Each structure stands twice: as C-alpha cells, then as structure tokens.
Amino acid sequence: KNQVEQSPQSLIILEGKNCTLQCNYTVSPFSNLRWYKQDTGRGPVSLTIMTFSENTKSNGRYTATLDADTKQSSLHITASQLSDSASYICVVTYSGNTPLVFGKGTRLSVIA
Amino acid sequence: NAGVMQNPRHLVRRRGQEARLRCSPMKGHSHVYWYRQLPEEGLKFMVYLQKENIIDESGMPKERFSAEFPKEGPSILRIQQVVRGDSAAYFCASSQDPFRGYTFGSGTRLTVV
C-alpha cells in the first residue's frame, strides 16, 4: 500500500532555532518527493521537489534530503522565523500521471 | 496570472442540498486534480481531469460525487444530497506538466449543517 508517514505530528520551537522534520514512504515505483508548506486556511505551496537521483536540495532556509534506499526524507529549517509556523507536508509521486500521495503533515509552531 | 482560483471560499449547505465547487486552473494548465482534506488529516486524492476527460476517479465516492472539466470554463466538483460527513476542505490543483509541479488553490471549505 502506498503510504507516507511523517514525524513528529507537531512541533514547537523558539524563534531562531533550527528543526528537522521526517518523512518515510512506501510509495513504489517512486517518481519524486515534494515538500509543501500549508498555512492555515490556505492551499499547499511547494518548497522543494526531488527526484530519485537527488540527495539534497535547498530553498533558502529550507533544506530537503532524500535517501531513496531507505525511503526517507527530511526537511531542515534553519534560523526559524515566526512566519514558518505552518503545516509541512511530504508528498510522494509514483510513476505515470498518477496522483500525489500526501502525508498528514507536521504542524510547526514557532514562538517568540 | 492569478493562480488557481477556487470559489466559493466557504460554502454552507443543509443536509440533502447540492454543493457545487468551482476551480479555475492557471492559464495554460490542462491538468486538474481535486483533493479533500478532513480536519487533522492529510489531503486525499479524489479525481484527476484533463480537459473534457476524466483520467482517474479512483478517489471519488461512487455515489453523489461527480466532476467535470469542460472545454470552456472552470472545473466543477458536484456533491449531490450532501451529508454531514461531506464537511471538509476541498482543494483543487492544476498543472501544465504533472511531473514538474502543481499549483494549489486556496480551497473551498464546505460545511453541512
């Protein structure tokens, strides 16, 4: 069964601190993995997209890693800001024009 | 380019009424996807359409739900005879090339009372 599991479910950190979110997947055959940020009441916005051959990809203070052998990905946020408070969703695509498989997300709260 | 436009943003329906949700994809995008998000849950795929054709509707409930993406005009997700369990946020995403990227709308929040 194609599944995407994320941890932790929720996380509270102080402004300026770093954090790492985890994603494990069982989607096969794997095409690509995406991290999205979803603010409350809004649609998801893409942060990174990684294919099988990519290990690391950065987008500003966001750095995503992918280990296709262990089927794990992480999203590292550096020097967190209050505006980083959102749900971060790991999404995996398998081959073909098939739909995205979404994780339930990690709810991040950055506090002053 | 205004992005993916969904309307209405909020929709309240009484049990038994019909709900009609609209999605205007980004200009040039011919692929449209509908997803449903229940509270505290991840987005769940419902249906994938490509101009006038339903490509994959494996996530759609067999009854009461239908979707279309006509040659002209927005994509419509129609829910007939709504029940309380239909209350959720419904998101539409569009793409020019599904392997490259998707753009999501802000969603329609349906509340059935």
Q: What per-residue confidence (pLDDT) applies to B40?
A: 77
Question: Is residue A25 helix, strand or coil?
Answer: strand
> Average pLDDT over chain A, rounded to whole?
91
DSSP at B42: -
Query: To 10 degrees, the CA torsion angle through B50, A102, A41, B95?
Result: -30
Alpha carbon distance B107, B21 (integer Å)? 9
Q: What per-residue confidence (pLDDT) applies to A58?
A: 94
In tens digits, chain B (113 residues) has pLDDT values of 579 999 999 999 999 999 999 999 999 899 999 999 988 788 888 999 998 899 889 899 989 999 999 988 999 999 999 999 999 999 999 988 776 678 999 999 999 99
Tokens representing B106 are 């802000």
Parallel, antiparallel or unpaired: strands A72-77 and A62-67: antiparallel
Tokens representing A18 are 């770093």
Task: With beta carbons less than 8 A apart as the criterion, state whether A66 and A58 touch.
Answer: no
Q: What per-residue confidence (pLDDT) applies to A40?
A: 86
Alpha carbon distance A37, A21 (integer Å)? 12
Question: Is residue A5 helix, strand or coil?
Answer: strand
Q: Which chain B residues are within 8 Å of A100, Cβ to Cβ?
A: 33, 43, 45, 102
Q: Does A104 touch chain B (CB under 8 A)?
A: yes
Q: What per-residue confidence (pLDDT) applies to A96?
A: 58
Q: Summarize pLDDT for A20-54 with one digit per residue, the tens.
A: 999 999 977 788 899 999 998 889 999 998 988 89
User: Could you tell me what percentage of chain A is helix, strand and coil, using 3-state DSSP and rounding each to the nearest 5?
Assistant: 5, 60, 40
Q: Summarize pLDDT for B71-93 with one digit per residue, the tens.
A: 889 999 999 999 999 999 999 99
Tokens representing A40 are 């409350």
Q: What per-residue confidence (pLDDT) applies to A93?
A: 84
pLDDT value at A97 more than 60: no
Q: Which chain A residues are within 8 Å of B56, Cβ to Cβ?
A: 97-99
Q: What per-residue confidence (pLDDT) applies to A32?
A: 87
The model's confidence at residue A98, banded by pLDDT at 50, 70 and 90, is low
Q: Which chain B residues are within 8 Å of A89, Cβ to Cβ?
A: 42-43
Task: With beta carbons less than 8 A apart as the criterion, state whether B109 and B10 touch.
Answer: yes
Residue type, B69: F
DSSP at A83: G
pLDDT value at A95 more than 90: no
Q: What per-residue confidence (pLDDT) applies to A36?
A: 94
Tokens representing A73 are 């990905």
For B104, the closest of A43, A103, A104 (CB atoms) is A43
